[in-house]
Amino acid sequence: MNNHEPKLRRSTSFSVVPDEALCCVLDRINDPRDREAISLVCRQWHRIDSATRKHVTIAFCYSAAPAMLRSRFARLESLKLKGKPRAAMYNLIPEDWGGYASPWIAELASGFDCLKELHLRRMVVYDEDIRMLVGARGHALQSLKLDRCSGFSTYGLRIIATNCRCLRTLYLEESTIIDHSGEWLHDLATNNNVLMHLNFYMTELKILAKDLELLACNCKSLISLQLSECDLIALIKFFKLASKLEEFGGGSFNVDQGEVGAYNKVVFPPRLLSLGLFFMGTNEVSVIYPFCASLKKLDLQYTFLNTEDHCQLIQKCPNLEVLEVRNVIGDRGLEVVSNTCKRLRHLRVERGDDDPGQQNEQGRVTQAGMMSIAVGCRELEYIAIYASDISNAALEAFGTFSSNLRDFRLVLLDSEENITDLPLDNGVRALLRGCTKLGRFAFYLRPGGLSDVGLGYVGEYSGNIRYMLLGNVGESNMGLMHFAVGCKKLVKLELRSCCWFSEHALALAMLQLPSLRYAWVQGYKASLNGEGLREMRRRYWNIEFIPPGIEECQEASEEGRATLVTQPQLLAYYSLAGQRMDHPEYVVPLF
C-alpha cells in the first residue's frame, strides 16, 4: 500500500490564462470596483485591464495628472471627469477656485484615438478647449456633456454643431454659457441627423422655434429635448414633427401674451413619458391632464402650482417613477403621492419660497408626509427632502419600509421655531440599520439635531456608504471620534457648520477612515494658518486651506455696503499628481 498521498500545490501565477480568454471575460465586467480589484491580481491582468477598459470616472480632476490617464488607459472610449467641489453648486466655492479642463483636453486631443464620449462636470471649459477637442475627436464624438460647466460661449457651441456630425447626445444643463447668438442651434439642426438627446435646460440660452422644427425634421431619432425657457405655443409645430419624443422639459406658459385657452392647442407627442414645465399655474395645469397616466417622470419644481393643484395632478399620474417638486406640495400632497404612485423610485422635494407671507400651513413638509412616503412607496431608491419638521418616528419608518433605498438626503429647514423631536439619534440608527443598501447619505440638521451618541450611530451603521454629507451634527470632538471608528467604505466626506470640531480632531478622525479619498469641511474651529491639521499628513494626501476672511456683500444697505465674515474651508484629497499649481492666492496648500 502506497502511503504517499499526492501533494496539492496552489499555482502562484495566473499567466496560464491566455490573453484572448482574459479579454473576453473582462469585456463583460464593467463595474469600476471589480475592474480595480482585477487589475491588482498580477501584471498580466493589469495589462489586459488597461487595454480593455472602456470607461473611466475620475471623481476629482486633481487626483491624477492627465498624462497618467493616457499611459494607463490609452484605448479609452468614455471618460467622466469632475472638477470643482460639489459645494460650488451652492455658491460656497469662489468662481476662480480652479477646475480647469484645459490640461485634460490637451491630453485627450493628443492621444486618445478611441474616445467617443466625454462628460465634464463642474469644470471651466473655454472655447479654445472646445476647438482643440473637436479638432482632434469631433469626427468620432457621440456624446458630449458639459454639465454645470462655465467659461465657454455659443461660439464654442457652433464649433461643436458644425463639426460633430456623429453626435447623439449634447448635454449642457445648468452650464453658464455666454450667449452671443442662437445660430448654434441652427448649425446643429443643419449638420446633424443622428441626434437623440439635446439638453440645454436652465442655461438661459435664447433660441428660435423654427430651428427646433428644423432639428425635428432632420433628426428623426430625437427622443429627448430639454431647453431653456420657451413658450409652449411657439412649440406646437415642433411637437407635431418630433413624433418620437419621449422626454421634454423647459416649455413655459406666458398668459400675458394671450388667453389661457390658447394653450389648449398644445398637443404633446404621443410617446411622451417625461415632462418638466416652467411657470405652469392653476389655470394651465389641465393642459397636461390627457396624458398624465402615461408619465413616468414629472418635474414641477418651477411651476406656480399650490398644494391642491399638486394633489389633483398627481392623482392622475399612477405610473410615476420619478417626481421632483418644491415643498409647497405639503404633507397632503405627499400623502396623495404615497397612495397613487406605487412605482415611485426617485423623489426630490426642494425648498420653496422662504417668505413666510407666501407660505401656508398646507405648504410644509414634515414627518407626517415623510411617513406617508415611507409606508406607501416601497420601491423608493432615492429621496431628497427639505423638511420643516421631523421626528425619530419618521426616520424609523424609512428603516422599516424602505429597504431598497440607495440614496437618502434630508435638510431640516430653520423656518420653524420648534422641532417636534430632537435629537434624532434613535431615528438615524433605525434608518441606517434598516436601509442596508444605502451608498449615499446626506443629513443636514439644526444645532442639537444629532448628539455625539447619534453621530456614533452614523459611523457604526454606515457599513456600505461611500458618500456622506453631514451638517450641524454632534456636540463635541468626542462625537466625531466615535463616528470615525466606523464608515469603513467611506470614500467622500463633506462636513458643514460643525463649529465645535477642532482641527486636531478632524485630522485624527480622517486618519481613521481607511477608504477616505476626499474630504471637504466648512465651518469648524479653525486656526489662522491651519496648523492643527498637521497630523493629517500622509503620503499622496493634499491638504488645502481657505482661512476665514471678510468680503463685501453684493447688496448694499442704507448704511453702506455690508460685509460678510466667510467661514474657513478645508479640502483634503488623495492625489498621484502632487500639489496643484493653478490655485488662487486665497487657497493655501498645507504641508
For residues 92 and 116, membership in a common domain is answered with yes
Amino acid 354: pLDDT? 53
For residues 217 and 70, membership in a common domain is answered with yes
- Is 183 within a domain? yes
For residues 85 and 37, membership in a common domain is answered with no
- Is 331 within a domain? no
Q: Is the dihedral of CA 488, 490, 491, 493 positive or negative?
A: negative
Amino acid 24: pLDDT? 76
- Is 509 within a domain? no
Which distant-in-sequence residues (6+ apart) come within 8 Å of 390 by Cβ? 366, 367, 370, 410, 412, 419, 420, 421, 424, 427
Which distant-in-sequence residues (6+ apart) come within 8 Å of 303 by Cβ? 277, 278, 279, 280, 281
467-490: average pLDDT:
95
**Domain of 43, in residue numbers:** 17-53
Q: Point out the domain boundary residue: 222, 240, 271.
A: 222
- Is 416 within a domain? no
Nearest to 278 by CA among 301, 256, 260: 301
pLDDT reading at 259 higher than 70: no
Which distant-in-sequence residues (6+ apart) come within 8 Å of 539 by Cβ? none
The domain that holds 36 is classified in CATH as 1.20.1280.50
For residues 47 and 181, membership in a common domain is answered with no
For residues 47 and 95, membership in a common domain is answered with no
For residues 45 and 61, membership in a common domain is answered with no
Q: Which three cell numbers stand for residue 438?
A: 444605502
pLDDT digits (tens, 9 = 90+) for 303-319: 999 999 999 999 999 99
Nearest to 140 by CA among 167, 118, 158: 167
CA distances to 68, 133, 158, 347 from 189, rounded to whole Å, are 37, 21, 11, 34
Which distant-in-sequence residues (6+ apart) come within 8 Å of 500 by Cβ? 474, 475, 476, 477, 525
Amino acid 1: pLDDT? 47
- Burial code (b: 16+ CB inside 10 Å, e: under 16) for 143-167 equals bbbbbbbbbbbbbbbbbbbbbbeeb
Q: Which residue has the higher pLDDT, 63 or 32?
A: 63
Amino acid 494: pLDDT? 97
For residues 161 and 34, membership in a common domain is answered with no
Q: Which three cell numbers stand for residue 404?
A: 431598497
Percent above pLDDT 90 for the chain: 74
- Is 162 within a domain? yes
- Is 212 within a domain? yes
On average, the pLDDT of the chain sits at 90
pLDDT reading at 355 higher than 60: no
For residues 90 and 39, membership in a common domain is answered with no
pLDDT reading at 6 higher than 70: no
Which distant-in-sequence residues (6+ apart) come within 8 Å of 278 by Cβ? 229, 250, 251, 252, 253, 302, 303
pLDDT reading at 7 higher than 60: no
Distance CA 307, CA 285 (A): 13
Q: Which three cell numbers stand for residue 525?
A: 474651529
Burial class (CB in 10 A: 0-12, 13-18, 19+), 354: exposed
Q: Which residue has the higher pLDDT, 16 or 115?
A: 115
pLDDT reading at 350 higher than 90: yes
The domain that holds 187 is classified in CATH as 3.80.10.10
Domain count, the chain: 2
3-class DSSP assignment, residue 249: strand
Q: In this predicted structure, which of 16-25, 507-516, 526-535 has the lowest mean pLDDT?
A: 16-25
Q: Which three cell numbers stand for residue 575?
A: 492625489
- Is 320 within a domain? no
- Is 36 within a domain? yes
* pTM for the whole structure: 0.91
Amino acid 559: pLDDT? 43
For residues 119 and 46, membership in a common domain is answered with no
Instruction: Estimate the share of the chain in helix, then strand, then coil, as percent rounded to the nearest 5.
Output: 35, 20, 45
Amino acid 15: pLDDT? 56
Supply the DSSP symbol for 58: E
Q: Which residue has the higher pLDDT, 74 or 20?
A: 74
pLDDT reading at 21 higher than 80: no
3-class DSSP assignment, residue 567: coil
Distance CA 183, CA 214 (A): 13
pLDDT digits (tens, 9 = 90+) for 141-173: 999 999 999 999 999 999 999 999 999 999 999
For residues 61 and 147, membership in a common domain is answered with yes
For residues 186 and 216, membership in a common domain is answered with yes
pLDDT digits (tens, 9 = 90+) for 112-121: 999 999 999 9
For residues 75 and 210, membership in a common domain is answered with yes
Distance CA 576, CA 540 (A): 6
